[in-house]
Amino acid sequence: MNYKAIYICLAVFIFMAGGCAGSKSTKSTLRGASASQTSDAKAKAEKLIQTAESDIRAARDAGAQAAAPGDIKSAEYNLESAKTKLKRKEYYLAGEAAKGASENARQALKKAKKTKR
């Protein structure tokens, strides 16, 4: 029997499996992050969520609910998604969803201002 070939195949298999395990999602990346990096990411996500809430409020106050209901719905959906991701400690994804919510709210505000003219 050719034991050398078996050992080589086994070593290649273990190497490949180890590489796949290391390429997990952002959660595994955050586990390796320092506490200060994690708290910075959390603070940034929280700030982006607050900004999105403010943007949505401003759009509603300007009458965007009637002028751009789809944009407001998208903004609200993205905001809820951001809050859910924040609770799951997916800080980067929470920030990205909050940015999307702000963008949707700004689009709604723009349409509302255009309608009032």
Domain boundaries, the chain: 1-25, 33-116
- Contact call for residues 38 and 30 (beta carbons, < 8 A): yes
Q: CA 8, CA 41: separation in Å to the nearest integer? A: 43
Q: Which residues of the chain have pLDDT under 70?
A: 1-32
pLDDT at 75: 98
Q: Please, where are the H alpha helices in 1-117? A: 3-21, 26-31, 35-61, 64-67, 69-87, 91-116
- Contact call for residues 11 and 3 (beta carbons, < 8 A): no
Question: CA torsion sign, 68 to 70 to 76 to 78?
Answer: negative
Buried b (16+ CB within 10 A) or exposed e, 52-78: bbebbeebbebbbeebbeebbebbbeb
pLDDT at 5: 61
pLDDT at 117: 73
pLDDT at 79: 98
